[in-house]
Amino acid sequence: MAVPCLDDFTILRCLGEGSSGTVYLVRENDTGGLYALKAIPKLKLSGSLLAIEAVVTERNMLLDLRGDDFILQPRACFHDSKYYYLVTEYHPAGDLHTLLLLKGSKADAVRFYMAELLLALEHVHAKRVVHRDVKPENVFIDNDGHIVLGDFGLARKLSAGENTISSDEMFGTPAYTPPEVFTGQPYGREVDLWAFGVMLYELIAGRVKLRSPDIRISH
């Protein structure tokens, strides 16, 4: 099988820019399929072990969870002299945050989406993965109206026999981060369920707070 490269895709337009890189809508030349391509500048990663680790983590997590229901599916991973590239499914309906802002937090919709998100977390946790950044912006909606959990750059896989993560590792978005993380206590997969609960409250209450940036701090 040929090694994938940027020439295998045609860039159609920019979907957005983040702190780690730029995401483009691309068409795969052989199949005509539409995908999201994240281009991460190597220069931006230079000298930052944490930034490099996040890129590697997201790639490895998506490959490890490939085929699981309600999880963002990877298409290709490759790099050239200037960029690392991650190609994944493209979901034009947007994310849960945007969709619920547009349509309002209807009880039936909230019940449906959150039930599917809980199933997604069960898949993730069964493979000993802690997502650590569960929030509406990381829950996409596919063409059939089902949720897709993405953005595994801050995820952590527990080793065999390991049930908690050191208090030295503090990750996530503050609005969805549980108290034990801020107080320096060891934590585990339950941090994702705390974030799930915060999301559920926000969606039911119809309140969408201003988001703080992701954080990654060592005590």
Residues 131-161: tens digit of each pLDDT: 999 999 899 999 898 999 998 888 989 988 8
Highest-confidence segment of 15-19, 86-90, 204-208, 214-218: 86-90
Average pLDDT over residues 124-130: 93
Was 127 annotated as part of a binding site?
Answer: no
Residue intervals in the chain for CATH 1.10.510.10: 96-218
214 pLDDT higher than 90: no
Q: Which CATH architecture has domain 96-218?
A: Orthogonal Bundle (1.10)
Per-residue pLDDT, 213: 44
DSSP per residue, the chain: -PPP-GGGEEEEEEEEE-SS-EEEEEEETTT--EEEEEEEEHHHHTT-HHHHHHHHHHHHHHHHTTT-TTBPPEEEEEE-SSEEEEEEE--TT-BHHHHHHHH---HHHHHHHHHHHHHHHHHHHHTTEE-----GGGEEE-TTS-EEE---TT-EEPPTT---B-TTEEEE-GGG--HHHHTT--B-THHHHHHHHHHHHHHHHT--PPPPPPEEEE-
Which superfamily, per CATH, for 6-89?
Phosphorylase Kinase; domain 1 (3.30.200.20)
Per-residue pLDDT, 215: 44
212 pLDDT higher than 70: no
pLDDT tens digits for range 86-115: 999 999 888 887 766 655 557 888 899 999
**Taking the model in full, what pTM does it have?**
0.83
Average pLDDT over residues 44-51: 67
Catalytic residues: 133
Residue intervals in the chain for CATH 3.30.200.20: 6-89
